Structure 1
Amino acid sequence: MAKPASAEEVRAFHARLMAVASGSDDPRLERVFDIVPREAFLGPGPWKIMVNERYVETPTTDPVFVYQNCLVALDAARRINNGEPFLHARWIGAIAPKRGETIVHIGAGAGYYTALLSMLALPSGRVHAYEIEPGLARRASDNLAPFEGVTVVQGDATELPLPDCDVIYVNAGVVSPPGPWLKALRPGGRIVFPWRPSTQLGVAVMMTRADTSFTVRLLGPAWFIPCVGASDPAGCIKSPSLSQAHSIGAAWLIEDRAPDDTAVALCRDVWFSGGPE
């Protein structure tokens, strides 16, 4: 009979899957998923895994159970989870964190994906992790203490100033991306966020800053808990249909350029330009 795989072997295979899911040829991605243990950021097992909006508890505390493409509860009562690895692998592959960059992580939870981002920013990079829930922020601070260049801020990232940065990684649903977030991006800076301009639409959006505009790329479906301070339905004055959302190629801050007749989405601080439906 074959010997059961160890937790280390399972994590190494999981890391290989994440590297493929990322769509990136950066060899560091497989390495960071391999060396950062997911279970260390989930609290003691057994763990609750979400399936069809219900939680199923793992039969034991063996960490092999969390190395699958699943949501794992961080706070089951509030339905706050550590997100699906395939989705995050794709996002990380798309934003392509580079050595020495400054990264802002909004909605850091207990810090697992913050840790991965921090490893990709080494050496000399920085990660500023924002978490609004005090209990989760304390857990993130403890979990991330061994990681170099990470600062955890407990508070509302829509109200607090963000540092100038190269990457903003948002893990909470946003109706209207706040202007101050976009202004914090340096030229060439990237932001990825779950966009919820209406109850019918949930997509991951990556925006890359040019001189006075942003290129826009959709990364697939995304449904996250709402981002406090950026989830007011009134924040999106004109919401796109799904096909219109897929036509978006560019965006501008309203203060830099007034919306024109190509606008398929109009938010409080930014508008999105697309082709005909």
Structure 2
Amino acid sequence: MTGTAEARQFYARLMAAHAGSADPRLEEAFATVPREAFLGPGPWTVVAGDGRVETPTADPSHIYQNVLVALDADKGINNGEPILHAMWIGKVAPKPGEVVTHIGAGTGYYTALLAKLVAPGAVIAFELDAALAARAEENLAAFGNVTVIHGNAVASPLPPSDIVYVNAGVAAPPAAWLKALKPGGRMVFPWRPAERVALAVLVTSTESGFVCRPFMGSWFIPCVGASTTDPSAKIPDREKAARSRSIWLISDKAPDRTATAIIGDVWFSSRGVDGSGDKRAERQNLLRPLSGRRPSRRP
């Protein structure tokens, strides 16, 4: 086994361990999808803190670790941290035959992982940047179950989806994204309602409503068309945001005193869809800090 192959196998085991998933296919996906094929020719620029470091050579072993690799340094667009995406993919638990909508596909690396995991299901990948969309389409040509769309997923209708996987920060998910979820469908998105609030949120569509669970810190570049709020919005601080347990469409249910945030056509509640709340969090008005991640925008 070559050094690159060994590095990729070890990387895959690490990603599976961080994902906390019992699905052995997750490790296989990370082991079989070559990250370097989606980054352009090396050497590569790695984002480290507020600076950048170039890999010493074009040896792919350098990028089989938890590093941000610049895709467009001028725009701040990166191939996101693998550990973050491993954890997110573990949360949404893709299954064979499911349909995924990937918003902010970048050059397609994490799109490819999702495509592997849902095959023979489909992945519809939206990418707003024309150059990145063209690269993604080329990179994903071998994946017959992927469709790349150069367009804005905020302005475009989404297909009925088992998973909506969002890689751009939103002040709140558009109502249309929630409505696109099939029964039992899952959405993961970076919630950025305020400068100091940046949380990854898992949403599950149930018969009773949309279950919401913030689970870690997460910073992504803004989603065009869904990253700003109007003056009438109720913006949460980080503690209130972390206490959110359900999301509601205002057209279905008016906000009540449990509202932690009211933004656009949706509102977040500290109570679950079954009426239960996090009593401990309500008493203390806080939750344990969620782990943070460096800016990590693009697959």
Shorter-chain TM-score range: over 0.9
The answer to whether the aligner puts 1:60 opposite 2:51 as a matched pair is no
Higher mean Cα deviation, 206-215 or 183-192? 206-215
The one of 141, 148, 151 equivalent to 2:144 is: 148
Matches within 5 A, 1:29-48: 29-48=26-45
Matches within 5 A, 1:50-199: 50-123=47-120, 125-199=121-195
Q: Measure how far apart 1:245 and its partner are.
A: 1.9
Q: Measure how far apart 1:29 and its partner are.
A: 0.4
Per-residue displacement from partner, 1:53-79 (whole Å, max 9, x unpaired)? 221111100001101111101111211
Contact map agreement 1:175 1:236 (CA 8 A) in 2: no
Contact map agreement 1:46 1:61 (CA 8 A) in 2: yes
CA distance, structure 2, for counterparts of residue 53 and residue 93 of structure 1 = 29
Residues 263/55 of structure 1: CA separation in 2 closer, same or farther (3 Å cut): same
CA distance, structure 2, for counterparts of residue 258 and residue 210 of structure 1 = 19
The one of 7, 11, 24 equivalent to 1:10 is: 7
Q: Measure how far apart 1:235 and its partner are.
A: 8.1
CA distance, structure 2, for counterparts of residue 8 and residue 167 of structure 1 = 31
Residues 9/236 of structure 1: CA separation in 2 closer, same or farther (3 Å cut): farther
The one of 218, 225, 231 equivalent to 2:221 is: 225
Per-residue displacement from partner, 1:112-155 (whole Å, max 9, x unpaired)? 000000000012x0000000000000000000000121000001
Contact map agreement 2:123 2:147 (CA 8 A) in 1: yes
The answer to whether the aligner puts 1:201 opposite 2:197 as a matched pair is yes
After TM superposition, where is structure 1 displaced by more than 4 Å over at least 4 residues in a row? none
Contact map agreement 1:235 1:267 (CA 8 A) in 2: no
In the superposition, the TM-score normalised over structure 1's length comes to: 0.96
SS at match of 2:248: strand
SS at match of 1:229: coil
Contact map agreement 1:176 1:236 (CA 8 A) in 2: no
Higher mean Cα deviation, 162-171 or 212-221? 212-221
Residues 235/29 of structure 1: CA separation in 2 closer, same or farther (3 Å cut): farther
**Structure having greater relative contact order (Cα 8 Å, sep ≥ 6):** 2
Contact map agreement 1:197 1:236 (CA 8 A) in 2: no
Q: CA RMSD in A?
A: 1.3
Matches within 5 A, 1:204-215: 204-215=200-211
Matches within 5 A, 1:228-243: 228-234=224-230, 237-243=233-239
Per-residue displacement from partner, 1:16-60 (whole Å, max 9, x unpaired)? 000000011110000000000101000000000001122111110
Contact map agreement 2:229 2:263 (CA 8 A) in 1: no
Higher mean Cα deviation, 227-236 or 199-208? 227-236
Residues 146/267 of structure 1: CA separation in 2 closer, same or farther (3 Å cut): same
CA distance, structure 2, for counterparts of residue 128 and residue 212 of structure 1 = 27
Residues 208/236 of structure 1: CA separation in 2 closer, same or farther (3 Å cut): farther
Gaps of 5+ in 1: none
Contact map agreement 2:167 2:190 (CA 8 A) in 1: yes
The answer to whether the aligner puts 1:254 opposite 2:250 as a matched pair is yes
